Every structure is written in structure tokens, then in C-alpha cells.
Amino acid sequence: MYSFMEPYTFENGATVRNRIMLAPMTNFASADNGEVTDEELAYYRERSKGVGTVVTAVANVTPGGKGFPGEIGIDRDDLVGGLTKLADTIKGEGAKAIIQMFHAGRMAPTDLLPDKETVSASAVAPEREGAVTPRALTEDEIQSIIKAFGDATRRAIRAGFDGVEIHGANTYLIQQFFSPHSNRRTDQWGGSVEKRMRFPLAVVNEVLEAAKEADESFIVGYRISPEEIENPGITMADTLQFVGELAKEDLDYLHVSVMDFFKGSMREKDDERSRVQLIHDEVGSRIPVVGVGSLHTPDDVERAMAGGVPLMALGRELIVEPHWIEKVEAGETEAIRTEMSVDDREELVVPEALWNAIVNRPGWFPVKEHAES
């Protein structure tokens, strides 16, 4: 039996049926007001049948933090009913249901925001074509956003989720506070690496405090990106210092966001060590690490776990093959689908907006023109 098929029990007592998570992936399927749709429920139902844990697409904690069209909202009490349907759908198939939460910060599309204005730690634009320069957040706004993460956690609890994941990765607001590129503040929230940690750690503490209102088995995870390509940008040294602090918190796991589990540094081309493995080697004895990134086959996952990383998330792999785990269980690993055709949307139960994004972005997914007859 593959080791990833074994159950896993977190320190808080929560047990998952296997070590595989559905990675959080935007699916563009919620209604414009943030409500969960039937199309979204169908997508998650199909992918909750085998995995131990489902981490949903990211949900915005404030109206001004929305990062994508068709994004789940967790910023208002009237959304709890739909969120309950989502949690029930995932749990109904035997998986743990974890909702990811964030604020997009300077990466938010202005047309999705109530006042059409992006905000961040500082008024520094991201290094990308057509980027908008954000407005620096005030002290009161920072405190309000921190509180919003706690309020969002309480909504997740009311909706019946088994946990939340704080999205501190992928260039969004929490990472923007940790980054020396986007954070040029000279107050308590910026400057040294210790000061740049303060906002992420304040969010963690707010979420953990809110989580006390749930059963003790409620899971709180944190997602992190190890490095940034920008200069100045987040370095591996910064991150190893930061994860040391995160490991002191009462978090249940640390999810390392990379495109390829085995890939080395994006900043130091001669450093070919896996970023996930480095973080696990640093703090894995204190906090479980979740790996991810281009793990297509069961053998890929086993090789990634050989260094001791206890949990693995599959993203694109579970879009291409929703029944990845079931086929492993049945001993049908050769039947695991590793590519799809433009005709497969309905069979794979992929929301239409996500499907359009997949087929119109060459190289993102392994897509053939048409299925073979």
C-alpha cells in the first residue's frame, strides 16, 4: 500500500482518511455576490470522494479584498447558508472540509472592488504589465482587516467547516506585508524581517482566537510562498526565520506553495534543493508540512514523501483526474488520467468559467485538442 493512503491524525485530534489534500484552486464558479452555486457544489462533490481533505478555493474576508471574478465570499453573514451547503457537500463524501481565506491586496482587479481602489502595505505597484499602484493601508484599516479574518473564521465555524487555511502565499496581502518589495513601511508593520512578520502573525492570532469557539479538532492551517523573484523580495533566509515563528503558534499545518515540489530556488539558480523539503527539515518536527507541486502519479507522491513530509496536496492533478485516489485504491494506477481533451468538461465536472480559463491558457494544463475516437 502507498504510504499516502494511510490515515493521519493531527495533534488536535482531527483524523483524515489519507494524506492527500485537494489543493486550493480558484474555480471562478461562485455568483457575483460571493454565493456558492450548484455548479461549484458539483465540482467539489466530484473531488471529495477519495481525498482525505478538501481545501476550497480562496474566499475573500472583506469586500475590498476580492481577488477573482466568481470568488467565494466569506465577508458577510448572509453567505453562511451557501457556505454550509459547501461544507456539507464535501463532508458528505467523507473528506474534511477546509475553507481558504484571504485578502488580495494590491493583486485585486479594481473592477471587482467597491471603491475601485487596491490597497497594500505600501503604495508600491507589483512588477507586472498594467499594474496599478495601491494605496497604503492606514492603521485603522489594518486592524479592521485583521478582525475580518477572525469574523470569517467564525462564519466558517457556523457553516460547519472542519477548518480554515490562512492564505499567506502567492503574492496576496498577507505576503505583501511580509515582502520587502511591497512593504516599505516605517511604522510597527514594516522594516526589519521581524516587523514584516507582525501582520501575518496578528492574523494568525486573530484566527486562532476565533477558532476557540469551535470544537478542539477544528483545523487551522497557513499557506506560505518560500521566495519571491522581485528585488528586494522574500528570500529563503527570511522564510526560514518566519516559519520558525509560525511553528511556535498553535497552527495545525504549514502548506508550502510551489509549482514543483522538487524544484530549487527561484532566486539562487545554483541552489537546487526542494523548498518544501528545506522548510520541513527546519520545522517539520514542530508543525506538519503540506507539500504540493507537479505530483502527477502515485510514485511522484511517494518520492516527495520519502523525505518525511507527511501530507501532500494535489491541484491540477485532481482536475484532470477527479478519481485519482479511487483508482489508486482499486489498483488501477495505470488508468489515472494525466491529460484531458477540450471535450471532457462535463465528464470531469469542471465549472464552465474554469474550463474556459484552462483551454485558453496554453501550458497550464495538459490539454489535447479532441478526445481520441
pLDDT at 371: 56
Average the pLDDT over 228-253 and give the result.
98
Residue corresponding to grid cell 512593504:
183
pLDDT at 162: 99
Q: What is the mean pLDDT of the chain?
A: 97
Tens of pLDDT along 296-330? 999 999 999 999 999 999 999 999 999 999 999 99
DSSP string, 166-185: EEE-TTSHHHHHH-TTT---
Tens of pLDDT along 333-348? 999 999 999 899 999 9
pLDDT at 317: 96
Burial classification of residue 129, based on how many CB atoms lie within 10 Å of its CB (0-12 exposed, 13-18 middle, 19 or more buried) = exposed
Average the pLDDT over 135-162 and give the result.
98
pLDDT at 1: 84
User: By percentage, how much of the chain surpasses pLDDT 90?
Assistant: 95
CA atoms of 183 and 105, how far apart (whole Å): 12
Coil, strand or helix: which one is 196? helix
Residue corresponding to grid cell 467539489:
44
User: By percentage, how much of the chain surpasses pLDDT 70?
Assistant: 99
Q: Which one is predicted more confidently, 248 or 130?
A: 248
CA atoms of 185 and 163, how far apart (whole Å): 32
Judged by average pLDDT, the poorest of 78-92, 220-234, 350-364 is 350-364
Domains annotated on the chain, with CATH: 3-338 (3.20.20.70)
Q: Which three cell numbers stand for residue 122?
A: 505600501
Tens of pLDDT along 37-90? 999 999 999 999 999 999 999 999 999 999 999 999 999 999 999 999 999 999
Average the pLDDT over 268-280 and give the result.
97
The residues that bridge with 102 in the sheet, in sequence order, are 60
Q: Cα–Cα distances in Å, from 235 out to 184, 256, 266, 270?
A: 16, 14, 9, 14
Tens of pLDDT along 103-139? 999 999 999 999 999 999 999 999 998 899 999 999 9
pLDDT at 372: 58
Enumerate the H helices of the chain as residue ranges: 38-47, 80-91, 139-159, 173-178, 193-196, 198-211, 236-246, 275-283, 298-305, 316-320, 324-329, 345-348, 352-359
Which amino acid belongs to residue 80?
V
pLDDT at 370: 65
pLDDT at 337: 94
